[in-house]
Amino acid sequence: MPASLSIVIPTLNAASKIGPTLASLYEGIDIGLIKELVITDGGSVDEIEILSEEIGAVFINGEAGRGTQLHNGALITKAPWILFIHADTILSKGWPNVIFEHISKYKDAGFCKLAFDNNGFISKIISLGANLRSNLFGLPYGDQCLLISRELYNETGGYLKIPLMEDVAMAKALKGCLRIMPITAITSSKRYEAEGWISRSIKNMTLLIKFLFGYDPEHLANIYKSKN
C-alpha cells in the first residue's frame, strides 16, 4: 500500500492523553499507508515535543488556536492526502483499508461517524444527534476527523485561522464535497461529563447557530472559554 497519507494532530498540553490516539494510528503505519505524522502544537508546557521526537513525528510549535494549528500543520505535509485528527480521538479497527478505498475512488473529502468513549444512554443520544447533523446538513465537527486531498485543501483555502468553529467553516467550504466514511471516531467524553451532557450540548448548538448567523468567532470563543 503506498504511503499516501499525512496525519496532522493539533495539541495543547495533550501529552498525557495522546497515547491511545497514537496507538490507533499504528495500524496505518503497519501497512504502509502513513507517510508522516505532524504534531502541530500551540505552546504546550508538557513533554509533547519530547514525545514527538521519540515517535519520529514532525513537531511544529506556533500560536495557539485549533484553526491556526491545523493550517500550519497542513502547510508542511508531504503526502497527497491529509487526515486531521484530535489528540483525544481513537479510530475504529480497519480504518486504513477504508481510507485507502476512499482515496482510490473519490476526490471528495471524508469524515467519520462519531462515538464517545462513554457507552451510557445519554452519550449515545448525543452522538446520534451529531451524526444526524453531519449527514443531513453536511456539518461534521473536528472530532469526527477530516480526510482531504492536498489539492482540495488548497482549493478551499484550508482551515481558517479563527479561534472557534474552524471545523464548521471548513465543512461549509466543502459543501457538496464531503462523504461519510465507515469509520468510527471514538472521542473523549471528559468535557461532557465535567460540564453535563445536556448543558454542553446546548452550549455547542447555541454557538453553532450564532456562527452560522455571522457572529464573530472571537466573540464566540470568549463565550466558550467563559463557560469552560
Judge whether 221 lies within some domain: no
Judge whether 146 lies within some domain: yes
Q: Using one digit for the tens of pLDDT, what is the confidence trace for 72-117?
A: 999 999 999 999 999 999 999 999 999 999 999 999 999 999 999 9
- Give the three cell numbers for residue 116: 464517545
The percent of residues in the chain predicted with pLDDT above 90, rounded, is 89
Contact 52, 39 (CB under 8 A): yes
Model confidence band, residue 33 (pLDDT cutoffs 50, 70, 90): very high
Judge whether 213 lies within some domain: no
pLDDT of 226: 64
Judge whether 207 lies within some domain: no
Mean pLDDT of the chain: 94
Q: What is the CATH number of the domain that holds 11?
A: 3.90.550.10
**Structural domains in the chain (count):** 1
What pTM was estimated for this model as a whole? 0.95
Helical spans, DSSP H, in the chain: 19-30, 48-55, 66-75, 95-105, 121-137, 150-156, 166-173, 190-195, 197-212, 217-226
Judge whether 222 lies within some domain: no
Which residues 6+ apart lie within 8 Å of 151 measured at CB? Answer: 80, 107
Judge whether 171 lies within some domain: yes
Judge whether 218 lies within some domain: no
Bridge partners (DSSP) listed for residue 84:
8, 146
Q: Using one digit for the tens of pLDDT, what is the confidence trace for 38-63?
A: 999 999 999 999 999 999 999 999 99
Q: What is the mean pLDDT of residues 140-161?
A: 97
Residue 88: give the domain boundaries: 5-194
Count of C-beta atoms within a 10 Å radius of residue 170: 26
Judge whether 170 lies within some domain: yes
